[in-house]
């Protein structure tokens, strides 16, 4: 196959940031994606419906003339979140999900949840109104090895939380382990899981073998090769519960290359070209549209986009950096030349 036209993809997990950074990165998502679930981990976080509305307006104002893109807003769940505000933001059509960060799990997660008892009323309300919970699934306990934090989260937090909140729709975000794939496959259709592009391409050797590579450091951190292969199997399977959430997370090089550097891979510019290659390698190009364009809207109860994107088997060259007023941001390097182009 040398050309593939599919329904326009959506990104079900994206960091757009704000201000100058947002203006620089937004066109890279909007050129390929019709919609994206926008992460609320700004400083300060997007906690209320009013804050989400203001953030959406800033995104739309930053969208270059002639580009068509719909930001799907989320609220950042805190121990003080007001269930009535969540319900109103959902009822108005503004907010499509609520995001749960365990306190301290990742970038700007200090306002996240430490005492899960304190979010009970909000979770019950979300189950009642059918609003999905997007979960950063890692425990933060210092005594749990960072490579085990996702698997431990499933047993200690996620499964009890779901049992205590029947009917709650949950997205396990950016899964990185075979444990998460197995768990997702064993659940009913209230549970889905997103997979990033970079976790289909790198394992932990990419970060640590032959010198430390900060641009491959993200959270959850990439795991062993056997886990990457389990993710490839899940993403390319065509199963309805798995869909794309890139977790494209731009940081300036200055912030990545510190003694304590930021977590995140910036994949917005080359995600679709990389995915075409991954799915072709796994003889699964017929499932690419399912993963990028159909399963996500199906879970969120939204229509599949009626516009299309065409992928052609012509080598693409990506810029290594995107320049922003805050400094350059390195584009994720998959480690192989791109054989596909996205139009």
Residues carrying an active site annotation? 247
Near Zn ion by CB under 5 A, which window of 65-73, 144-152, 235-243, 247-255? 247-255
304-340 burial code (b ≥16 CB/10 A, e <16): ebeeebebbeeebebeeebebebeebbbbbbeeebbb
Contacting Zn ion within 26-85 (CB under 5 A) = none
Among 235, 249, 285, 288, binds ligand DOR (CB under 6 A): 249
| Widest distance between CA atoms in the chain | 53
Q: Evaluate whether 186 touches 168 at the Cβ level (below 8 Å).
A: no
Q: How many residues sit in the footprint of ligand DOR (CB under 6 A)? A: 12
Stretch that binds ligand DOR, among 23-31, 62-70, 72-80, 259-267 (CB under 6 A): 259-267
Altogether, the residues listed in the chain come to a count of 343
**Phi/psi at 236 (nearest 5 deg)?**
-90, 0
* Per CB under 5 A, 247 contacts Zn ion: yes
Alpha helices in the chain (DSSP H): 19-30, 49-62, 83-91, 120-129, 149-153, 159-164, 178-185, 204-208, 225-236, 253-256, 271-281, 288-289, 295-300
| 216 to 245: interface string for ligand DOR, x by CB under 6 A | --xx--------------------------
Q: Which of 245, 264, 269, 297 binds ligand DOR (CB under 6 A)?
A: 264
Closer to ligand DOR by Cβ: residue 170 or 262 = 262
Nearer to ligand DOR, 25 or 168 (CB): 25
Residues 198/265, Cβ–Cβ less than 8 Å: yes
Reported as type and span, the H/E element at residue 5 is strand 3-7
> Contact between 289 and Zn ion (CB under 5 A)?
no
Using rule CB under 6 A, residue 263 touches ligand DOR: yes
- The residue within the footprint of ligand DOR, chosen from 35, 56, 125, 136 (CB under 6 A), is 136
11 sits near Zn ion (criterion: CB under 5 A): no
Query: Is 107 a binder of ligand DOR (CB under 6 A)?
Result: yes
Q: Cβ distance 149 to 220 under 8 Å?
A: yes
Residues of this chain that bind ligand DOR (CB under 6 A): 15, 41, 106-107, 136, 218-219, 247, 249, 262-264
């Amino acid at each position: 196959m040398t050309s593939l036209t599919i329904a326009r993809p959506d990104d079900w997990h994206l960091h757009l940031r704000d201000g100058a950074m947002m203006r620089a990165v937004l066109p890279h998502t909007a050129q390929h994606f019709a919609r994206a679930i926008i992460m609320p981990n700004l400083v300060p976080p997007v906690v209320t419906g009013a804050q989400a509305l203001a953030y959406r307006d800033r995104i739309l104002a930053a969208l270059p003339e002639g580009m068509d893109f719909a930001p799907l807003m989320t609220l950042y769940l805190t121990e003080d979140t007001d269930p009535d505000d969540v319900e109103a933001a959902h009822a108005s059509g503004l907010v499509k999900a609520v995001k749960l960060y365990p306190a301290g799990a990742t970038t700007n997660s200090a306002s996240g949840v430490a005492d899960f008892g304190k979010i009970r009323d909000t979770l019950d309300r979300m189950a009642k109104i059918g609003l999905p919970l997007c979960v950063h699934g890692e425990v933060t306990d210092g005594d749990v090895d960072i490579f085990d934090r996702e698997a431990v989260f499933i047993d200690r937090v996620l499964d009890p939380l779901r049992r205590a909140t029947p009917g709650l729709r949950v997205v396990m975000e950016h899964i990185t382990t075979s444990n998460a794939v197995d768990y997702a496959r064993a659940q009913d259709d209230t549970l889905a899981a997103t997979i990033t592009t970079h976790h289909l391409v790198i394992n932990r050797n990419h970060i640590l073998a032959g010198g430390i590579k900060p641009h491959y450091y993200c959270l959850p951190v990439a795991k062993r090769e056997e886990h990457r292969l389990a993710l490839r199997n899940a993403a390319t399977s065509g199963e309805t519960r798995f869909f794309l959430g890139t977790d494209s997370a731009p940081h300036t090089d200055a912030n990545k290359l510190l003694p304590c550097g930021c977590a995140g891979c910036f994949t917005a510019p080359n995600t679709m070209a990389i995915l075409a290659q991954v799915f072709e390698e796994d003889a699964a190009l017929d499932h690419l549209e399912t993963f990028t364009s159909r399963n996500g809207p199906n879970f969120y109860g939204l229509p599949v986009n009626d516009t299309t994107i065409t992928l052609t088997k012509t080598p693409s060259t990506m810029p290594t950096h995107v320049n922003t007023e805050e400094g350059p941001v390195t584009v994720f390097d998959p480690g192989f030349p791109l054989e596909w182009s996205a139009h």
